[in-house]
Amino acid sequence: MSDLSKVITLGAITLVPGEYKAIYRTETKIALNNSSEKIYLYDNNGNLIDEISYNSTIKGYSLSYNIKQNEFLWSSTKTPSKMNEFTMPNEPPEAIITFSHNPVAPTEVFTVFATNSTDPDNDALSYFWEIGKKFQASGEQFKYSFDALGEYLIKLTVSDKYHNIVATTTISVMPAVDVVSLRSQSDIKSDKATGSDPAAITSGQIFITEIFPNPAGADNDEWIKLYNPNNFNIILDNWIIDDQEGGSKPHTIIDRSIGAKEYLTLGKEETKIMLNNTSDEVRLFDIKEKLIDSVLYDDVKEEQTYLKTDEDTWVWSGEVQAESVDYSITDYATAGYEAINIYNATNQDIVDIDLPDIRELELGTEVRVQGTVAVEPGVLGKTYFYITGSPGIQVYFYKKDWPQMQVGDMVGVIGELTESNNETRLKVASKEDIVSLYESDPPEPMDMQTGDISENIEGALIALAGELVEKKGTSWFIDDGTGEAKITFQPTANITKPTAKSGDWIRVVGLVSETQSGYRVLPRYQSDIGLIDPDEILAQDAGQVLGASADNMQSDADGIQRFRIPENNQPNKIFIYLLITSGALIILLISLIIKFRMETKKRSKSA
């Protein structure tokens, strides 16, 4: 018996005519996929006897052969080692659409829910949304906003694998003043003492748009800037601003509002929030303690702000200005929401996936994967570690309650596929989602060139060697002639940087990580970085033509194979090689000149 990845030989089994026999996973060691699978049965001579395949599954159901209909059917009645039984029919689900608000104002972000949808058979449901011809989303809920006034049709398709039930409804987009007048008094607050506009509401999308975490000298001048992209004012009373989980005490905003299309700066003297100078997270919650926006930052630059740009990316900027200056920031009310899929993991099957294929899945997918621990939690960051295996991935757990593990352990991880600062990662919900499978040797780094750090090796453990070209804060830049690679020293790793100057050659082992500003390599331990002698590089080439290798030979039209210097050969190596060769030729030339003069003098005397 086999599937696409494993072949097993059954023990002695005898079936009498008409008998059924269930063979369990404990005997076959074959793990049946929840997505798609193909199973084969062979006789003892290797002849294919039977096969079955499926492309999807229904949780709690068995796929059973119906002799009368000559087809396989899903049945809620499971009959191992017995004649198959079928429990049918299946009742269709009910599709129901609800909104966080209806009507809404232009650019106001609202949430659309399918959580009230039900199924009489308690089947797992999937949800598919459509707004017009351009917008589609999956999951129990999603966020959206409209720019223009009007009535908009929203379509929901609920599926239980047997039925596709469609529901439609409309949402009204009205002027902000009219929306305020229609909202319940609990959602409206007028307070002339605070200078708030009566046409203001207590909910809506607000963005964190700039952070100043590391001013020069004492950090008393830290601040966080907010932006209101809406066409109406929003009252921020009892909203909460906070840093990373377990950091400073959350600050409840009192007697504050933010005008339409305006900025608001909250200083440290008001919030009492201490932003880390290494890495941290800023989070904003509304009056109902719902997360409105959050920003992660690292690789901090002193006396620079972390700024959201027109392209909806984050960069470090040296133009520090706490006042509410308009940076021509794009209207963010719709940016980022036009293709967001929000998934409810409780209604999703866990996808078994090999680590090399994990980035082919959509964000929000819950997966089960295994890999080798390349660095323990707490070394590069308190909330994450890395597993590797062509290439690798970051595993994130905000509670930081890690199980015991060490480098080289093979672990299984169940988590949601997410993204932070452009880097793909697995977000786990509890320590039980990480299971040690067996101990193994520490992973070996892949040798890479400095110019080849890219998406296809994100999360991989690599080894680099290159010339130190720049030191910049917590980062060094090295180059082997193929392009610069950024080496970032995480404070939690406690690595003492070797004494080095520009022009020295460095060898680094580390994990490839991505941030908003590009790729970097993170050394884990003191042994991951050290100086190397360029002569060692030349010694490796001794006895062969410079640049010669089997991969670097090219055949000319005359059939003669010739060597060529590869494009990635280091300029320093070539320079040193030519310098040594030129020096030897000069010494030889001087010796010949001296010898020639001596011979001339002898001849003159003898004459």
Q: pLDDT averaged over the chain? A: 80
Cα–Cα distance measured from residue 231 to residue 109, given in angstroms and rounded to the nearest whole number:
12
Position 537 pLDDT exceeds 90 = no
- From the list 335, 336, 224, the residue with the least C-alpha distance to 281 is 224
Tell me, what's the pLDDT at 558?
35
Tell me, what's the pLDDT at 545?
42
Cα–Cα distance measured from residue 32 to residue 30, given in angstroms and rounded to the nearest whole number:
6
Tell me, what's the pLDDT at 407?
95
Position 468 pLDDT exceeds 80 = yes
Position 100 pLDDT exceeds 90 = no
Cβ count near 438 (within 10 Å): 8
Tell me, what's the pLDDT at 602?
61
Mean pLDDT of the 490-507 span: 88
Q: What DSSP string describes 281-294?
A: EEEEE-TT--EEEE
Global model pTM greater than 0.75: no
Tell me, what's the pLDDT at 319?
63
For residue 356, whether the previous peptide bond is cis, meaning omega lies within 30 degrees of 0, is: no
Tell me, what's the pLDDT at 112?
94
Report all structural domains of the chain as residue ranges with CATH numbers, in order of start. Answer: 98-177 (2.60.40.10), 206-317 (2.60.40.1260), 349-438 (2.40.50.200), 446-532 (2.40.50.140)
Report for 174-178, 338-342, 553-557, 576-580: range of highest mean pLDDT: 174-178
Cα–Cα distance measured from residue 568 to residue 589, given in angstroms and rounded to the nearest whole number:
33
Position 357 pLDDT exceeds 70 = yes
Position 324 pLDDT exceeds 70 = no
94 pLDDT band (50/70/90 cuts)?
very high
Tell me, what's the pLDDT at 158?
95
Cα–Cα distance measured from residue 128 to residue 136, given in angstroms and rounded to the nearest whole number:
7
For residue 103, whether the previous peptide bond is cis, meaning omega lies within 30 degrees of 0, is: yes
Tell me, what's the pLDDT at 89?
58
Position 175 pLDDT exceeds 90 = no
Give the whole-number percent of the chain exceeding pLDDT 70: 79
316 pLDDT band (50/70/90 cuts)?
confident
Mean pLDDT of the 390-403 span: 88
pLDDT in tens, 549-576: 334 333 333 333 322 333 444 445 455 5
Q: With the C-alpha atoms ordered 449, 452, 453, 457, is the resulting torsion angle positive or negative?
A: negative
Position 386 pLDDT exceeds 60 = yes
Tell me, what's the pLDDT at 565?
31
Tell me, what's the pLDDT at 186?
39
pLDDT in tens, 134-161: 888 999 999 898 988 999 999 999 998 8
Q: Where is pLDDT greater, at 586 or 402?
A: 402
Among 21-25, 126-130, 184-188, the range scoring the smallest mean pLDDT is 184-188
Among 84-93, 203-212, 342-351, 437-446, the range scoring the smallest mean pLDDT is 342-351
377 pLDDT band (50/70/90 cuts)?
very high
Position 330 pLDDT exceeds 60 = no
Position 344 pLDDT exceeds 80 = no
pLDDT in tens, 415-453: 999 987 788 999 998 888 999 888 888 999 999 999 999
Q: SS3 for 343-371, per residue?
A: CCHHHCCCEECCHHHHHHCCCCCEEEEEE
Tell me, what's the pLDDT at 78?
87
Cα–Cα distance measured from residue 46 to residue 306, given in angstroms and rounded to the nearest whole number:
64
Position 26 pLDDT exceeds 80 = yes
397 close to 382: Cβ distance less than 8 angstroms:
no
Cα–Cα distance measured from residue 180 to residue 199, given in angstroms and rounded to the nearest whole number:
6
Position 579 pLDDT exceeds 80 = no
Cite the DSSP H helix spans in 167-325.
Answer: 176-182, 268-271
Token pair listed for 5 = 């990845």
69 close to 31: Cβ distance less than 8 angstroms:
no
Largest CA distance in the chain: 126
Position 599 pLDDT exceeds 50 = yes
Q: Where is pLDDT greater, at 219 or 190?
A: 219
Strand partners, 446: 462
Mean pLDDT of the 194-218 span: 74
Mean pLDDT of the 105-110 span: 84
385 close to 376: Cβ distance less than 8 angstroms:
yes
Mean pLDDT of the 108-136 span: 89
Q: Where is pLDDT greater, at 473 or 295?
A: 295
Q: With the C-alpha atoms ordered 521, 522, 524, 529, is the resulting torsion angle positive or negative?
A: positive
Cα–Cα distance measured from residue 360 to residue 343, given in angstroms and rounded to the nearest whole number:
17
Position 69 pLDDT exceeds 60 = yes
Tell me, what's the pLDDT at 483?
92
Tell me, what's the pLDDT at 188?
41
Cα–Cα distance measured from residue 446 to residue 217, given in angstroms and rounded to the nearest whole number:
41
279 close to 286: Cβ distance less than 8 angstroms:
no
Tell me, what's the pLDDT at 453?
92
**Which residues lie closer than 8 Å to 438 by C-beta, 6 or more apart?**
409, 410
